[in-house]
Amino acid sequence: MEPAQNPEHSTLGLNGKAEKLPAGKLHSAQYIIALILAILITGLWRLQVLGADNFRALADANRIRKVPILAPRGRIFDREGRLLVDNYPSVSCYLLREQVKDINLDLPLISRGLNIPIDQIQAILRHYQAAPKYQPIPLKQDITPDEQAFIEAHRNELPELETLDVQRRLYPRDGFAAHLIGYVGEVSEEMLDNPRYAFYDPGDVVGRSGVEETYDSVLRGTDGYKDVIVNSHGKELGHLGETLAIPGKDLRLTIDLDIQMAAEKALEGKVGAIVALDPHTGEVLALASRPTFDPNQFSGRLTKSYWDQILNNPDHPLLDKATQAQLAPGSTFKIIMSVAGLQEGIAQDMHVDCQGGATFYGHFYACDQHHGMVNINNAIPYSCDTFFYTLANRLGIDTIARYARSVGLGQRTGIDLPDEATGTMPSTEWKLRTLHQPWYAGETISVGIGQGAVTVTPVQLARALGGIASGGVFHRPHVVFPDEVSSQDLEAIHESFPGSGETTIPLSKENWEIITDAMANVTGSPIGTAYAAHLDGIDFAGKTGTAQVMSHDALARSGGGHKTQPNAWFVGMTPRRNPDIVVAVLWEHGNWGNNSARLAAQVIDAFVNKQRKRAGNVREVATVPAATTSDATPAPVPAAKPVPSAE
């Protein structure tokens, strides 16, 4: 009889016979099992002991939610402390994607309760699909009390909906000063790629234009938060604490509300811009652009219908025509021509016989009147094209360009508003660089009257003529008082908005007096092109400009129409020398420069009347003749006087 096999050392083979297991394999299996147990025990120890604090924090996070407390933006005031932009309390609805596995199942109920189309909610979700899942998504702003009640009543069914108290912007009605003030809106994906917005998150509200954009870092406060205890359904059970938000800093603008109102009223129903500056300091007293837009529409979620209305408007309501419209200045450019001609010693002794135009390089250049013998003293009030054609021909384009650039044309002024345009001041170098063509002498003739390739913005023209009337001293235009921001912020703004800034040009006293006296005759003498806009008892000076928008041949082919009428310019000031205010007016397709002069007169009159009231010398407001685009003839003057130019 065979001895029995030890079961710990044998196994049953395929033939039914017991086989012996080698001791080495048995020991290896035992070691492997022991190693696995050791790993499991070590992992369990790390989770239960070393990771206890971490998992405790994660557990707390499941019951504690950080609710942001959005900081209100700083308010905006005019120079006298009158409120322009305020905030008002509002409630917004946010979507918490972490609270639900499949948001699509809840969309029909959310759509009905918040009165939002399902496709709009889906578009919002697509917009934020790349954002971290823990980030709340702004679903609807300014929700109604009924919508708030809906959210509270459906806490268990819709734990993903959360409300947040916010402060929303409240702008003036009817687009008042909209281009100057700007608006706020949600930060865009393109903006987030800009290092300037490195510390912003999707959904944050930032300034998108005007003062709101330039001074966003000043107006924007620091958000706070509160720790809220919630249950598994997201319902609040209590509070643990909070960090208060720090409101943004209030800003005081250089704008004078009374002057701004006068400018807005003058532009009503028109397309164009008005800029009023204090030439002594560069402070912007008023800045208006038409057509305008309602910034209140942009501060929330912009509706498609309003956006389509803005986009389809051929007059471009979002364009700030005061700083961005680049158009030929017409005869307002003759003041720069006069500076160049007098400083070069050419214009003083120049006499031109105007018989309705002159021929240069085989081409006849027309003047709108037969002015007879003209010199520098009456060429400006007459606005005689023939005189300035001749002067331009004698100066040459590069001399003209040198003086124009010295007063700031063809470059930004450095005003603290975004996206300022440069305008164009042509020269031989400019044409070679941009068009790769030589400059022809005949092109200079049109430049002499502010036509051809020369373009300016209203703010450039206001700074240029205001500086000339101030004896050659030019200041950087600005809409916020420098002491309203820190020196560091001010330096950063100047770096971000480069321009001609603070400059001085040599302008002899004699030449200065010739130019300013001639500008006073534009409005104060019956021979002046803006005599219809003169103001009794006010030393009101300026220069008109009527800039064609197409050639005479193109005009004949077009068949006419409002859009073919010339742009009407005027730059005026008071007093004529070292003025306290300079006003530049652009009225697109306003026909004649004297029409824009009447608009400027309304602003000048409001300014002077306010100064006199402060001094206790009250007078009645002057009546300024209303301007119309159909006013195609010059203002009537006594028959015994020379007939003024149609400008």
**Which pLDDT tens digit goes with each residue over 392-407?**
999 999 999 999 999 9
Nearest to 407 by CA among 469, 495, 348: 469
- 221 and 357, same domain (yes or no): no
Residue-level pLDDT at 484: 94
Characterise 255 by phi-psi region: left (phi > 0), alpha (psi -120 to 50), beta (else).
beta
Whether residue 1 is predicted with pLDDT greater than 60 in this model: the reply is no
Say if 479 falls within a structural domain: yes
Say if 437 falls within a structural domain: yes
- 400 and 514, same domain (yes or no): yes
Give the sheet arrangement for strand 236-243, strand by strand.
Answer: 64-69, 224-230, 236-243
- 149 and 245, same domain (yes or no): yes
Residue 253 near residue 84, CB atoms below 8 Å: yes
Phi/psi at 241 (5° precision) = 160, 175
Q: What is the mean pLDDT of residues 515-528?
A: 96
- 245 and 345, same domain (yes or no): no
DSSP reduced 3-state for 620: coil
Those residues whose C-beta lies under 8 Å from the C-beta of residue 14, and which sit 6 or more positions away, are none
Say if 81 falls within a structural domain: yes
Q: What is the mean pLDDT of residues 262-280?
A: 97
What is the Cα–Cα distance from 187 to 200, expressed in whole angstroms?
8
Neighbours of 121 (CB within 10 A): 22
Residue-level pLDDT at 283: 98
Those residues whose C-beta lies under 8 Å from the C-beta of residue 20, and which sit 6 or more positions away, are 5, 9, 10, 11
Q: What is the mean pLDDT of residues 570-599?
A: 95
Mean pLDDT of the chain: 85
Lowest mean pLDDT among 430-439, 604-613, 625-634: 625-634
Q: Where are the beta strands (DSSP E) in 16-116?
A: 18-20, 64-69, 76-77, 83-95
Residue-level pLDDT at 130: 76
Say if 313 falls within a structural domain: no
- 492 and 353, same domain (yes or no): yes
Residue-level pLDDT at 557: 55
Nearest to 273 by CA among 216, 317, 229, 227: 317
CA distances, 552 to each of 79, 94, 247, 366 (Å): 46, 60, 58, 11
Residue-level pLDDT at 149: 92
Residue 224 near residue 242, CB atoms below 8 Å: yes
Q: What is the mean pLDDT of residues 421-442?
A: 96
Nearest to 522 by CA among 386, 431, 628, 645: 645
What is the Cα–Cα distance from 349 to 375, expressed in whole angstroms?
8
Lowest mean pLDDT among 115-119, 271-275, 387-391, 613-617: 613-617
Domain stop point among 252, 283, 300: 252
Residue 318 near residue 325, CB atoms below 8 Å: no
Parallel/antiparallel/unpaired status of strands 76-77 and 251-252: parallel
Domain stop point among 231, 252, 273: 252
CA 219 to chain centre: 15
- 206 and 347, same domain (yes or no): no
Query: How many domains does the chain fold into?
Result: 2
Residue 218 near residue 71, CB atoms below 8 Å: no
Phi/psi at 223 (5° precision) = -65, 150
Whether residue 545 is predicted with pLDDT greater than 80 in this model: the reply is yes
Say if 278 falls within a structural domain: no
- 340 and 226, same domain (yes or no): no
Residue 550 near residue 328, CB atoms below 8 Å: no
What is the Cα–Cα distance from 411 to 420, expressed in whole angstroms?
9
DSSP 227-281: EEEE-TT--EEEEEEEE--BPPPPEEBS--HHHHHHHHHHHTTS-EEEEEEETTT
Whether residue 184 is predicted with pLDDT greater than 80 in this model: the reply is yes
**Which pLDDT tens digit goes with each residue over 450-465?**
999 999 999 999 999 9
What is the Cα–Cα distance from 322 to 421, expressed in whole angstroms?
10
What is the Cα–Cα distance from 580 to 85, expressed in whole angstroms?
27
Residue 365 near residue 384, CB atoms below 8 Å: no
- 470 and 336, same domain (yes or no): yes
Name the residue with higher pLDDT: 210 or 625: 210
Domain stop point among 226, 252, 278: 252
Say if 304 falls within a structural domain: no
Say if 38 falls within a structural domain: no
What is the Cα–Cα distance from 478 to 490, expressed in whole angstroms?
11
Specify the CATH number for the domain of residue 505: 3.40.710.10
CA dihedral angle for residue 273, residue 81, residue 218, residue 584, rounded to 10 degrees: 20
- 334 and 227, same domain (yes or no): no
Nearest to 590 by CA among 270, 266, 262, 368: 270
Nearest to 533 by CA among 451, 443, 593: 593
Q: Which amino acid is at 470?
A: S
- 373 and 484, same domain (yes or no): yes
Nearest to 346 by CA among 299, 286, 387, 296: 387
What is the Cα–Cα distance from 538 to 341, expressed in whole angstroms?
29
Characterise 544 by phi-psi region: left (phi > 0), alpha (psi -120 to 50), beta (else).
beta
Whether residue 618 is predicted with pLDDT greater than 70 in this model: the reply is no
Neighbours of 230 (CB within 10 A): 18
Q: Report residue 366's pLDDT band, with 50, 70 and 90 as the boundaries.
A: very high
- 79 and 169, same domain (yes or no): yes
Residue 68 near residue 164, CB atoms below 8 Å: yes
What is the Cα–Cα distance from 87 to 168, expressed in whole angstroms?
5
Whether residue 629 is predicted with pLDDT greater than 50 in this model: the reply is no
DSSP 172: P
Which residue do the tokens 């809220």 mark?
228
Q: What domain range includes position 336?
A: 326-614
Q: Return the CA Rg of the chain.
A: 36
Say if 28 falls within a structural domain: no
The listed range with the strongest mean pLDDT (421-430, 499-508, 625-634) is 421-430
Nearest to 185 by CA among 215, 209, 211: 209
Q: What is the mean pLDDT of residues 282-289?
A: 98
Residue 115 near residue 139, CB atoms below 8 Å: no
Whether residue 571 is predicted with pLDDT greater than 70 in this model: the reply is yes
DSSP 485: S
- 204 and 350, same domain (yes or no): no
DSSP reduced 3-state for 301: coil
Q: What is the mean pLDDT of residues 529-538?
A: 94
DSSP 305-361: HHHHHHHT-TT-TTS-HHHH--B--GGGGHHHHHHHHHHTT-GGG--EEESSEEEET
Specify the CATH number for the domain of residue 120: 3.90.1310.10
Dihedral sign of CA atoms 223, 228, 232, 236 in order: negative
